[in-house]
């Protein structure tokens, strides 16, 4: 396969130089012959890369040669970027009517001067490459003419199908250990308040998976009042861990400003919260620990009820011994490798799956030999198993078995051979995407959308016909998950986010690949190889001093992570001329403006200044002709976008969600034909931007909002928006108001015709309609059969819903401020089975709605500030497990029959009902109820006072009771 970084860069450079040489750019005068020569050199080098990658493992000189190839390749890439960017800027100047004059004759944009400089640079690089190309002959490298097709992540439909429904298999070969540990953590007869269980073993044995299996065990669920999972790593601090536990206990009520609370006050507050609670705390991945810090944590946890437990996972026997010397009863369990039978079982699940095209007899002998090389390490078995899933011939399996990587021992490397082998067998662009994940620190929860955006910005995602690069990036993400290179995937459909993590072993592999080019520097750490680093992340913008930035002369990516910044973003960050990615993240909150110098970052493809205090963007930003992604999320002070944004033709992603001061968009947005993601489109007034500008933007996808629909005067304009053809939009928000401002007196004229003309594509999964002034919804709503979530907000004149009850996959329905709504179903459909998949129903401020239909699979119900007569029909919703009642200020009692059939109810929450006088008697019959939360209910608070309240006997059997943030049980 060859070195993934060098191979990919050289391939890109060959394509780029070819593309440049075939175009008639005036800036290329005198360079075309040099470009042809560069392509020849690259071809010669590329032909031996595969052999060089294989032999460099045992040859230091060859390693150094490859490193020089990398370095020079990046210089070549910069030069070619300068040439192509200059051509883009010339086109921009022509379009805007800007001509060169005397004042610009001697600057970098002067054609003659630019041509001279580029010719000089190209000749210098050509000389360096000639030397390197000749050096290759000294190593006796074998040329390889095989062309690897890296275009498709998956080679057959079967793998794609399995991937789409893939879930992590249960733990294999650890059943006895699960039983032992569950028995240990649930033991109440140990003699002290806290039991401790330490799981120790080398990386990849499945310590965290085993702990997670115990954590989720139904027996553990029933025993503990509170469960907390904390990833610890190297920072073992009683203050930090206490703060994290407190955050879990207090949830949304935890005040971020209290992060800097005095240590003694923090500890005392946590002790108070833990009193009377039986708690399970998992400390995952403890790398080291101070005995004093450990004893301090155990003192805090001892304030919980008898039978509380702590599970620790660690690779360090020293940590296990330190914990075992404590005063609390401790089980130290060393995880061993899986048996041969269990190893084969785990391997088969990944390697064979449900494939019937493999002759198990022919493959079994080879497979079992491969399994032996994995030495019973679960991570190795999963990774190598998923690799074999892509191999369909016995010769391919044999090639993996006989690979010399199994015998490879790199000095200073602890990377499992199976991981390296699987990595080597991935397509080049997939390897490149994985390796780039090392820009994030170990244990970091990575956002899938950010990963994909970065991969696209770096040019790692190869094109495939007309396919959307972001969709192709998601394919790569899924491939890495399938192969266990990314794990712990968490998807929240309703929030639209997906996150993942990397196993420590995988992070070590990624770092070994990118040890010179990629660095994640946390507070107090030192930047290694500053002259060579290309991609840098840090959790502290204070660390990114001018001295550090000056040393990192070739920086291409700068990503800031972590908490709220206390200092302004330094201007010298905007002087990194080779930056492709600038993600300021939480560091943007002190950024009051972008300097004009941002326009000099002409290579920039990704810019994220979300949550900044920027009021206007500098006009120079239009100079960023390579910019693909511009994220301005929650820039609340931003008043306008630059008029010249229509000239930023490479823009693919523009996010202005949460820019509440932005009330208009510049004309010409429809010229941005490459847009794939546009968070929000603001329809202008009068001569402002019209909704018809969306007509040709048919590649828009993901989440999309149209606001200010009150300004659409003619329904034909709405029809020209062409939503019906925008098949990639999966989440659509249609609002007659603007920027989340509800306007109750919007005119009703044309509202219904406009909405009817805005019919979306059938692929839509999430729909929100707000501030709509019509009295009924259009016919097309019932045809959106793929919808999983609908929200109607401030649609005050609508009396009923448009057959949404028949939608087969609808899981969530949210109704807010629907003044006239009387029914959830059409009168003609009252006898039909409605809402077959609905799991979540939110009813907020719907005063005319007094009855609910039968909803067979409803799990979560929230009713707030509506008509209290609606509670009489709640009793038939016997499947709900969560029930939230809020904002009924005049309600004095809840009907007893409401609770009589809610036998599945596990959590009940009653908030903001100050006149509610008593708890219904029926609550005593709810055997599944284990959590009761009461807030701002003064009369009920007195009635439910622990031991003395008149209603205490009704609720005393409930496991968890909290009243006005005070834990009663």
Dig out the tokens for 608 from the structure: 């994220």
Give the residue with greater pLDDT, 361 vs 166. Answer: 361
DSSP-derived pairing of the beta strands 279-286 and 226-233 = parallel
Averaged over 711-720, what is the pLDDT? Answer: 92
CA atoms within 13 A on the CB side of 277: 23
DSSP-derived pairing of the beta strands 728-735 and 766-770 = parallel
pLDDT tens for residues 357-390? 565 677 888 999 999 999 999 999 999 998 888 8
pLDDT at 156: 39
- Cα–Cα distances (Å) from 575 to 85, 580, 602, in that order, read 17, 12, 11
Q: Which residue has the tokens 């580029």?
A: 118
pLDDT tens for residues 833-845? 789 999 999 999 9
Averaged over 138-158, what is the pLDDT? Answer: 55
- By residue count, the chain amounts to 969
Using the 8-state DSSP alphabet, how is residue 915 labeled? Answer: T
pLDDT at 675: 93
pLDDT at 108: 44
Tell me the three state secondary structure of residue 455. Answer: helix
Give CA–CA dist 74/10, Å, rounded: 9
Given a contact cutoff of 8 angstroms between Cβ atoms, the answer to whether 605 and 627 are in contact is yes
Given a contact cutoff of 8 angstroms between Cβ atoms, the answer to whether 645 and 625 are in contact is no
| Percent residues over pLDDT 90 in the chain | 40
Extended beta strands in 114-254, E state? 194-200, 226-233
Q: Is the pLDDT of residue 21 over 90?
A: no
Using the 8-state DSSP alphabet, how is residue 271 labeled? Answer: H
CA atoms within 13 A on the CB side of 127: 5
Nearest to residue 511, comparing CAs of 487, 489, 528? 528
Give CA–CA dist 881/885, Å, rounded: 13
Given a contact cutoff of 8 angstroms between Cβ atoms, the answer to whether 46 and 7 are in contact is yes
Give CA–CA dist 122/325, Å, rounded: 66
Tell me the three state secondary structure of residue 496. Answer: coil
pLDDT at 857: 94
| Percent residues over pLDDT 70 in the chain | 85
Given a contact cutoff of 8 angstroms between Cβ atoms, the answer to whether 803 and 778 are in contact is no
Q: Is the pLDDT of residue 157 over 60?
A: no
Given a contact cutoff of 8 angstroms between Cβ atoms, the answer to whether 654 and 678 are in contact is yes
Nearest to residue 251, comparing CAs of 228, 231, 271? 228
Q: Is the pLDDT of residue 149 over 90?
A: no
Given a contact cutoff of 8 angstroms between Cβ atoms, the answer to whether 539 and 562 are in contact is yes
pLDDT tens for residues 316-354? 899 999 988 877 778 899 999 999 999 999 998 888 876
Structure-derived torsion over alpha carbons of residues 918, 919, 921, 925, reported in degrees to the nearest 10: -170
Adjacent-strand bridge partners of 812? 789, 840
Given a contact cutoff of 8 angstroms between Cβ atoms, the answer to whether 398 and 366 are in contact is yes
pLDDT tens for residues 54-77? 777 778 888 888 888 888 888 888
Adjacent-strand bridge partners of 283? 230, 312
Give the residue with greater pLDDT, 604 vs 157. Answer: 604
Backbone angles phi, psi at 167, to 5 degrees: -130, 155
Tell me the three state secondary structure of residue 319. Answer: helix
Q: Is the pLDDT of residue 198 over 90?
A: yes
Q: Is the pLDDT of residue 169 over 60?
A: no
pLDDT at 253: 62
Give CA–CA dist 82/218, Å, rounded: 60
């Amino acid at each position: 396969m060859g070195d993934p970084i060098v191979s990919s860069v050289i391939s890109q450079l060959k394509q780029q130089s070819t593309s440049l040489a075939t175009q008639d750019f005036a800036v290329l005068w005198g360079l075309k012959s040099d470009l042809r020569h560069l392509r020849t050199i690259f071809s010669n080098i590329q032909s031996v890369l595969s052999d060089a990658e294989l032999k460099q493992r045992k040859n230091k000189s060859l390693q150094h040669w490859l490193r020089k190839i990398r370095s020079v390749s990046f210089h070549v890439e910069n030069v070619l970027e300068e040439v192509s960017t200059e051509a883009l800027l010339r086109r921009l100047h022509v379009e805007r009517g800007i001509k060169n004059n005397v004042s610009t004759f001697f600057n970098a944009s002067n054609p003659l001067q630019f041509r001279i400089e580029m010719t000089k640079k190209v000749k210098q690089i050509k000389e360096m490459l000639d030397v390197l190309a000749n050096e290759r002959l000294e190593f006796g490298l074998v040329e390889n003419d095989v062309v690897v097709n890296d275009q498709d992540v998956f080679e057959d439909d079967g793998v794609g199908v399995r991937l789409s429904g893939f879930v992590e298999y249960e733990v294999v070969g650890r059943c006895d250990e699960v039983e032992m540990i569950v028995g240990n953590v649930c033991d109440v007869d140990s003699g002290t308040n806290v039991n401790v269980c330490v799981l120790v073993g080398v990386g990849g044995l499945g310590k965290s998976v085993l702990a997670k299996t115990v954590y989720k065990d139904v027996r553990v669920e029933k025993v503990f009042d509170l469960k907390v999972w904390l990833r610890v790593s190297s920072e073992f601090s009683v203050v930090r861990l206490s703060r994290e536990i407190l955050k879990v206990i207090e949830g949304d009520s935890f005040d971020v400003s209290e992060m800097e609370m005095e240590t003694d006050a923090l500890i005392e507050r946590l002790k108070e919260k833990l009193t009377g609670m039986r708690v399970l705390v998992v400390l995952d991945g403890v790398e080291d620990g101070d005995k004093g810090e450990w004893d301090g944590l155990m003192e805090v946890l001892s304030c919980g009820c008898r039978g509380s437990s702590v599970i620790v996972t660690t690779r360090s026997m020293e940590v296990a011994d330190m914990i075992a010397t404590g005063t609390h009863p401790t089980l130290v369990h060393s995880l061993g490798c899986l048996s041969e039978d269990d190893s084969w079982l785990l391997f088969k699940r990944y390697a064979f799956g449900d494939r019937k095209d493999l002759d198990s007899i022919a493959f079994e002998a080879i497979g079992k030999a491969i399994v032996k090389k994995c030495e019973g390490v679960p991570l190795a078995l999963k990774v190598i198993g998923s690799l074999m899933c892509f191999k369909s011939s016995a010769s391919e399996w044999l090639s993996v078995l006989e690979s010399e990587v199994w015998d490879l021992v790199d000095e200073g490397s602890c990377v499992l051979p199976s991981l390296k082998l699987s990595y080597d067998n991935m397509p080049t662009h997939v390897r490149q995407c994985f390796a780039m994940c090392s820009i994030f620190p170990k244990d970091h929860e990575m956002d899938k959308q950010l990963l994909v955006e970065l991969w696209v910005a770096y040019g790692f995602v190869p094109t495939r016909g007309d396919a959307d690069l972001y969709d192709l990036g998601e394919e790569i993400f899924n491939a890495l998950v399938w192969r266990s290179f990314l794990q712990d995937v968490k998807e929240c459909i309703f929030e639209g986010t997906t996150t993942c993590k990397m196993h420590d072993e995988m992070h070590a592999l990624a770092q070994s690949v990118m040890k010179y080019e990629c660095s994640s520097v946390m507070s107090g750490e030192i930047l290694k190889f500053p002259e060579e680093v290309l991609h840098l992340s840090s959790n502290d913008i204070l660390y990114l001093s001018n001295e550090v930035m000056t040393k990192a002369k070739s920086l291409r990516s700068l990503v800031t992570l972590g908490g709220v910044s206390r200092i302004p973003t330094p201007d010298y960050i905007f002087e990194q001329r080779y930056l492709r990615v600038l993600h300021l993240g939480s560091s943007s909150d002190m950024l009051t403006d972008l300097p004009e110098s941002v326009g000099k970052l002409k290579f920039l493809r990704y810019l994220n200044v979300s949550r900044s205090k920027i009021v206007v963007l500098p006009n120079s930003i239009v100079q960023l002709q390579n910019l693909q992604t511009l994220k301005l999320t929650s820039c609340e002070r931003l008043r306008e976008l630059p008029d010249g944004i229509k000239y930023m033709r490479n823009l693919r992603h523009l996010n202005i969600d949460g820019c509440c001061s932005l009330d208009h968009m510049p004309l010409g947005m429809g010229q941005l034909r490459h847009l794939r993601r546009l968070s929000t489109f603001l329809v202008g007034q009068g001569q402002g931007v019209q909704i018809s500008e969306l007509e040709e933007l048919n590649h828009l996808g993901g989440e999309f909002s149209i606001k200010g629909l009150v300004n659409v005067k003619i329904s034909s304009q709405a029809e020209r928006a062409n939503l019906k053809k925008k098949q990639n939009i999966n989440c659509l928000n249609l609002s007659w108001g603007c920027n989340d401002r509800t306007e109750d007196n919007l005119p009703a004229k044309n509202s219904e015709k406009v909405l009817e003309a805005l019919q979306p594509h059938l692929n839509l999964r999430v729909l929100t309609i707000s501030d709509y002034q019509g009295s009924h919804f259009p016919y097309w709503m019932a045809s959106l059969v793929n919808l999983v979530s609908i929200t109607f907000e401030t649609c005050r004149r609508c009396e009923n819903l448009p057959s949404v009850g028949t939608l087969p996959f609808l899981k969530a329905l949210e109704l807010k401020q629907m003044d006239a709504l009387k029914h959830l179903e059409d009168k003609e459909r009252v006898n039909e089975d409605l809402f077959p998949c609905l799991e979540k129903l939110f009813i907020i401020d719907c005063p005319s709605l007094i009855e609910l239909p039968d909803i067979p699979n409803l799990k979560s119900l929230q009713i707030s500030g509506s008509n209290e007569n609606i509670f009489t029909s709640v009793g038939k919703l016997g499947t709900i497990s969560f029930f939230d009642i809020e904002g009924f200020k005049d309600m004095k009692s809840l009907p007893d029959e409401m609770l009589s059939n809610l036998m599945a109810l596990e959590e009940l929450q009653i908030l903001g009902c100050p006149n509610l006088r008593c708890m219904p008697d029926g609550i005593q019959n709810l055997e599944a109820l284990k959590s009761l939360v009461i807030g701002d209910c003064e009369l009920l608070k007195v009635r439910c006072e622990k031991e003395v309240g008149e209603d205490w006997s009704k609720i005393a059997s409930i496991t968890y009771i909290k009243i006005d943030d005070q834990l009663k049980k």
